[in-house]
Amino acid sequence: MNQLNLDHATASAVFNKNEPRVDWHDETLWFVRAKRDRAAALIPEWEDLREAASQIKNHVLSNMHDLLVQFEENARKNGIHVHWAANADEHNDIVLGIIQKTGANRMVKSKSMLTEECHMNNFLTSHGIEVIDSDLGERIVQMRKEPPSHIVLPAIHLTRADVGETFHEHLGTEKGATDPQYLTEAARQHLRDTFLTRKVALTGVNFAIAETGGFVVCTNEGNADMGAHLADVHIAAMGFEKIIPRAEHLGVFLRLLARSATGQPITAFSSHFHKPRPGQEMHLIIVDNGRSRQLGRTEFRNSLKCIRCAACMNTCPVYRRSGGHSYHSAVAGPIGSILAPNLDMKLNADLPFASTLCGSCSNVCPVKIDIHDQLYKWRQVLMREGYGTTGKGAAMKAMATVLESPRLYRMAGKIGRGVLRFSPAVAENRFNPWFNQREMPAPPSESFRDWYVKNKKS
């Protein structure tokens, strides 16, 4: 599963070699999207909720400085140690420093896309710290040495047979076992022992409340709670955009989050942390890592409103048929494709092109991010900055020349029709990317213009 060095189109082609598996992947994600639709339909004020969430987040982006200062002050009053990390390296160093100070050499972690973005696990491992991911899906991909392929459903690209094989190898379950109940029980036993023996636990943050200096972590498995409440030291890591002004705004976000993500009315646990428990140490790391730069990009700052529900991935016809790993980025899918170019334009220049611009992502987004518009706008920025492929640039220029001139356009049409009719091999070959997954159209005998000239009543 080493697709990380391939661009999106190439990695997708690899993914698409196994057609039944692609169909299965597509249907599984569409099933989640359908559950989201049923959940949303049960809320008559769904569209108003989305609007409210969008407006609250717009306010947050515009008042970010003061909200962060307010949050920090209140969190400190609550007894939380607040750290600031300008980039991924600083974040990783802070985590390592906290762990080393406790004398521990291992840690349990619940889901945090931010730590994926910072490649924290590899960093800590290279410094002799063992990290165990406790979300079931994340544990599965961690055992397989793969990154998560989806931010909510990290192992969505794997079948139960794949998981059975992985657990047989790592947990000693029976060979050939595929029953999810049996496999989950094996993971439960293995991770329970982990929770009970780790002195340091790291969690992500879904929402941070400026007014109260607390933060909310949502899980279905209860793994964030098991880790944090049993550990002597709790580290929570958040991108600064997770901030919301007041606790009552959670009413909006918690109604939208799980319904948009999996079609559940709410996650099993929505835990509000305000103070460390007696004797515990609680650390919170506020991370920038390019976010303040994105905040300054007028056309792209809305991407920072994201609450990481993954509805845009589940609905995306490209994501469903190309798989999360083809995006070679911690956050895949449409939202990942508008976040990633900000982190590294050159490395992620292919991602805004991994879309049909159908707009389904924008339609399901609970905070109304104009995702498909931003994909389109990123394409323009990337071409302008010189990150497009040379072939694409040349083709666009040639097309512009032809379309600008009626005479050239007519001539090109005539040549095209002739070629398709008399020597189709010129177009129907593997060097024409349009022919790869398509049949070329049957050429018409004349152009519309010729027909019009012949038939117009004068």
Partner 1 sequence: MTSREQILANVKANQPALHPLPEQFRFTSVFPDIVQQFMDILAFVGGKAERVSDYEAIKKHIQEYYPGMTNVATTIPELASLADTTLAVTDPHDLASLNLAIIEGQLAVAENGAIWLDERQLPQRVTPMITQYLAIVIRESTLVPNMHDAYQRITVNTTGFGTFLSGPSKTADIEQSLVIGAHGARSLIVYMLP
Q: Which of residues 196-255 bind partner 1 (CB under 8 A)?
A: 196, 209, 212-214, 220-223, 225-226, 229-230, 240, 245, 247-252, 254-255
Q: How buried is residue 16: exposed, middle or buried, by Cβ count under 10 Å (0-12/13-18/19+)?
A: middle
Identify the CA nearest to 231 among candidates 124, 129, 104.
104
Q: What residues between 328 and 367 interact with partner 1 by CB under 8 A?
A: none
> Does residue 69 belong to the site contacting partner 1 (CB under 8 A)?
yes
* Cβ–Cβ under 8 Å, residues 327 and 340: yes
* Cβ–Cβ under 8 Å, residues 389 and 419: no
Question: What is the distance between the alpha carbons of residues 6 and 327, in angstroms, rounded to a whole number?
Answer: 9
> Does residue 102 belong to the site contacting partner 1 (CB under 8 A)?
no
> Does residue 149 belong to the site contacting partner 1 (CB under 8 A)?
no
> Does residue 140 belong to the site contacting partner 1 (CB under 8 A)?
yes
Least CB distance to partner 1 at residue 352 (A): 21
> Does residue 99 belong to the site contacting partner 1 (CB under 8 A)?
no
* Cβ–Cβ under 8 Å, residues 427 and 440: yes
Of 119 and 229, the one with the shorter C-beta distance to partner 1 is 229
**Helix, strand or coil for residue 285?**
strand
Q: What residues between 307 and 326 interact with partner 1 by CB under 8 A?
A: none
Of 269 and 435, the one with the shorter C-beta distance to partner 1 is 269
Measured CA to CA in angstroms, residue 347 lies from 2, 115, 188, 328, 334 at distances of 16, 19, 38, 9, 16
Q: What residues between 19 and 38 interact with partner 1 by CB under 8 A?
A: 28, 31-32
Least CB distance to partner 1 at residue 288 (A): 5
* Cβ–Cβ under 8 Å, residues 112 and 236: no
Of 28 and 389, the one with the shorter C-beta distance to partner 1 is 28
Strands 207-209 and 106-109: unpaired
Q: What residues between 423 and 452 interact with partner 1 by CB under 8 A?
A: none
> Does residue 45 belong to the site contacting partner 1 (CB under 8 A)?
yes
DSSP secondary structure string for all residues of 326-360: GG-SSS-HHHHHHHHHHH-TTTTTTGGGS-----H
Candidates 9, 16, 78, 409: give the one binding partner 1 (CB under 8 A).
Answer: 78
Candidates 61, 104, 357, 412: give the one binding partner 1 (CB under 8 A).
Answer: 61
Identify the CA nearest to 205 among candidates 186, 218, 188.
218
Least CB distance to partner 1 at residue 142 (A): 12
> Does residue 51 belong to the site contacting partner 1 (CB under 8 A)?
yes
Identify the CA nearest to 187 among candidates 107, 235, 132, 106.
132
Candidates 21, 171, 177, 269: give the one binding partner 1 (CB under 8 A).
Answer: 269
Of 16 and 264, the one with the shorter C-beta distance to partner 1 is 264
Q: What residues between 272 and 291 interact with partner 1 by CB under 8 A?
A: 272-277, 286, 288
Q: What residues between 399 and 428 interact with partner 1 by CB under 8 A?
A: none
Of 292 and 447, the one with the shorter C-beta distance to partner 1 is 292
Question: What is the distance between the alpha carbons of residues 375 and 335, in angstroms, rounded to a whole number?
Answer: 9
Q: Extract long-range pairs of 68-73: CB within 8 Å, 24+ residues apart.
A: 68/210, 68/240, 68/243, 68/286, 70/210, 70/211, 71/208, 71/209, 71/210, 71/213, 71/243, 72/213, 72/286, 73/213
CB atoms within 10 A of CB 286: 23
Question: What is the distance between the alpha carbons of residues 287 and 304, in angstroms, rounded to a whole number?
Answer: 13
Of 247 and 402, the one with the shorter C-beta distance to partner 1 is 247
Instruction: Using the structure block, give the residue that is written with the tokens 């159209």.
Output: 441
Of 275 and 417, the one with the shorter C-beta distance to partner 1 is 275
Of 256 and 316, the one with the shorter C-beta distance to partner 1 is 256
> Does residue 192 belong to the site contacting partner 1 (CB under 8 A)?
yes
Least CB distance to partner 1 at residue 155 (A): 5
Of 297 and 417, the one with the shorter C-beta distance to partner 1 is 297
Count of residues in contact with partner 1, rule CB under 8 A: 92
Of 7 and 135, the one with the shorter C-beta distance to partner 1 is 135
Candidates 126, 181, 437, 445: give the one binding partner 1 (CB under 8 A).
Answer: 181
Question: What is the distance between the alpha carbons of residues 93 and 99, in angstroms, rounded to a whole number?
Answer: 10
* Cβ–Cβ under 8 Å, residues 137 and 154: yes
> Does residue 146 belong to the site contacting partner 1 (CB under 8 A)?
no
Least CB distance to partner 1 at residue 270 (A): 4
Candidates 11, 183, 331, 339: give the one binding partner 1 (CB under 8 A).
Answer: 183
Of 85 and 316, the one with the shorter C-beta distance to partner 1 is 85
